[in-house]
């Protein structure tokens, strides 16, 4: 587990007594164990000069052992007080750890208060989030291969969705048909709730698939992704049903131009903010600037929204191995919504997308 070893060295070099990793996705990254504990407690505890341990709900302990976790794992039952047990385990290693690292964007105040009830001299010396983001930022060749496989699944999902579109069908019916066929083919998990929005409904970029019926002469937006061995895909396309009017066509053409131009600019040495500006300038110059109301992209890997954000003000310099989405959108209330997205990985001299379904305007079959 080279990433965990690297993280442990960082804990030691930064003079921490203990690092408490509470985000289940980061625990998966370091250990290979994947589980959302929901309301239960799942934690990875890393020490500078002692082997780490996982603390988990009792129902997960055997699974953690089976995946090949080489260090101790401890469990608790639902009626037990988890932080009493955690404190006891920590004190066997270090009776009085004072210099802690925690994930400030994840660990709740209530749970950290329970830690402080057992260790009165706790001092938060480091926010682990920044270091873990750094570790996860550059994907390994193996991670990129997993993401490529997830991308192939997303391409299949898009084609399946396109074939399901018919005038009079609801968005929900198309989504249900898509996910049923994916499961029949062995793709068992979506990376987020499949989003299908038709006509003016697509002008709500964070809306949800519902019982809205697909009508003739409108655009239909798809945003979907799958999970392959823990790694996700994320892709958006917009297609036409029937004949588009001049306004609908112009919105689509502008969004496509923005996405293609931004993606073509991705390469090592370019700033994340520059990619956002390239996409935004195309849309603003076409007169739709006020309708592009989100960042141009986000990181992806084990999670669908990872570090970094591709947005104004983020001067992070792109490096080979970084993976993120490029997804400009135009959302005009009561008219239409268009978003076109590929996730890419930065290569030595450019970038490659994980999804390869055409972005040119396609028309649903009659």
Say yes or no to pLDDT of 173 above 90. Answer: yes
- 316-326: string of b/e by CB count within 10 Å (b at 16+)? eebeebbbbbb
Counting DSSP H helices and E strands in the chain, the numbers are 10, 18
Assigned CATH for 141-353: 3.90.230.10
What are the start and end residues of each CATH 3.40.350.10 domain in the chain?
2-137
Q: Regarding beta strands 99-102 and 123-127, do their DSSP bridges make them parallel or antiparallel, or are they unpaired?
A: parallel
Handedness of CA 271, 272, 273, 275 (dihedral sign): positive
The two three-digit tokens of residue 110, written as one number: 């209530």
Average pLDDT over residues 53-58: 98
Backbone CA torsion sign across 26, 29, 31, 37: positive
- What the block records as the tokens of 44 is 């990875």
Phi, then psi, of 269 in degrees rounded to 5:
100, -20
pLDDT digits (tens, 9 = 90+) for 124-152: 999 999 999 999 999 999 999 999 999 99
Enclosing H/E stretch for 255 = helix 246-264
Task: Report residue 48 as tokens.
Answer: 């500078």
Report cis status (omega within 30 of 0) of the bond before 261: no
Q: Are 84 and 53 in contact (CB under 8 A)?
A: no
Q: Cα–Cα distances in Å, from 52 out to 5, 36, 46, 103, 136?
A: 10, 20, 5, 17, 19
Phi, psi of 55 (to 5 degrees): -115, 125
> Which residue pairs, CB below 8 angstroms and at least 24 apart, start in 108-113?
111/22, 111/41, 111/83
Residues 247, 249, 254, 256: is their CA dihedral positive or negative?
positive
Tell me the percentage of the chain whose pLDDT exceeds 70: 100
- Percent of the chain having pLDDT more than 90? 98
pLDDT of 6 higher than 90:
yes
Give Cβ neighbours of residue 39 (< 8 Å, ≥ 6 apart): none
Full DSSP string of 136-169: HHB--HHHHHHHHHHHHHHHHHHHHHHHH--TT-
Q: Is the pLDDT of residue 366 over 70?
A: no
DSSP designation for 195: E
What average pLDDT is seen over the chain? 96
In this structure, are residues 303 and 324 in contact, taking their beta carbons and an 8 Å threshold?
no
Report yes or no: 255 and 287 within 8 Å, Cβ to Cβ: no
How far is Cα of residue 209 from the mean position of the Cα atoms in its chain? 19
Q: Residue 181's pLDDT is what?
A: 96
Q: Are 165 and 239 in contact (CB under 8 A)?
A: yes
H-helix or E-strand containing 278?
helix 272-285
Tell how strand 218-224 and strand 235-241 pair up.
Answer: antiparallel
Tokens standing for residue 320: 């080979």
Could you tell me where in the chain the CATH 3.90.230.10 domains are found?
141-353
pLDDT at position 329 is 98
Q: What is the pLDDT of residue 25?
A: 96
Is the confidence at residue 59, as pLDDT, over 70? yes
Per CATH, the homologous superfamily of domain 2-137 is Creatinase/prolidase N-terminal domain (3.40.350.10)
- Contact 22/40 with Cβ under 8 angstroms? no
**pLDDT tens figures, 197-223:** 999 999 998 889 999 999 999 999 999
Query: Are 154 and 355 in contact, with CB atoms under 8 Å apart?
Result: yes
* Tens-digit pLDDT profile for residues 296-352: 999 999 999 999 999 999 999 999 999 999 999 999 999 999 999 999 999 999 999
Adjacent-strand bridge partners of 197: 221
Instruction: Give ∠ CA 87-91-95 in degrees, rounded to 5.
Output: 130
pLDDT of residue 120: 85
């Amino acid at each position: 587990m080279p990433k965990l070893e690297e993280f442990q060295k960082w804990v030691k070099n930064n003079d921490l007594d203990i690092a408490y990793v509470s985000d289940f996705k980061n625990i998966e990254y370091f250990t290979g164990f994947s589980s959302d504990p929901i309301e239960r407690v799942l934690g990875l505890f890393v020490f500078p000069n002692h082997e780490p341990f996982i603390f988990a709900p009792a129902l997960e302990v055997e699974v953690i052992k089976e995946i090949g976790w080489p260090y101790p794992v401890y469990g608790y039952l639902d009626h037990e007080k988890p932080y009493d047990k955690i404190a006891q385990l920590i004190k066997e290693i270090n009776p009085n750890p004072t210099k802690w690292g925690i994930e400030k964007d994840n660990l709740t105040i209530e749970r950290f208060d329970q830690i402080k009830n057992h260790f009165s001299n706790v001092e938060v010396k480091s926010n682990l989030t920044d270091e873990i983001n750094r570790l996860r930022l550059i994907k390994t060749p193996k991670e990129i291969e997993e993401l490529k496989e997830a991308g192939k699944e997303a391409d299949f999902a898009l084609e399946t969705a396109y074939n399901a579109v018919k005038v009079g069908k609801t968005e929900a019916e198309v989504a249900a048909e898509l996910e049923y066929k994916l499961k029949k083919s062995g793709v068992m998990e979506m990376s987020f709730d499949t989003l299908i929005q038709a006509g003016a409904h697509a002008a709500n970029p964070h809306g949800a698939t519902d019982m809205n019926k697909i009508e003739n002469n409108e655009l239909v937006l798809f945003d979907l992704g799958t999970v392959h061995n823990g790694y996700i895909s994320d892709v958006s396309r917009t297609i036409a049903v029937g004949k588009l009017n001049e306004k609908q066509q112009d919105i689509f053409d502008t969004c496509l131009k923005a996405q293609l131009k931004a993606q073509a600019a991705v390469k090592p040495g370019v700033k994340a903010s520059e990619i956002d500006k390239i996409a935004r300038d195309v849309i603003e110059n076409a007169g739709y600037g006020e309708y592009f109301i989100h960042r141009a992209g986000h990181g992806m890997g084990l999670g669908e929204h990872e570090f970094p954000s591709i947005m104004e003000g983020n001067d992070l310099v792109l490096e080979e191995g970084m993976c993120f989405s490029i997804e400009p959108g135009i959302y005009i209330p009561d008219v239409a919504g268009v978003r076109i997205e590929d996730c890419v990985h930065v290569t030595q001299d450019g970038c490659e997308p994980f999804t390869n379904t055409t972005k040119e305007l396609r028309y649903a079959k009659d």
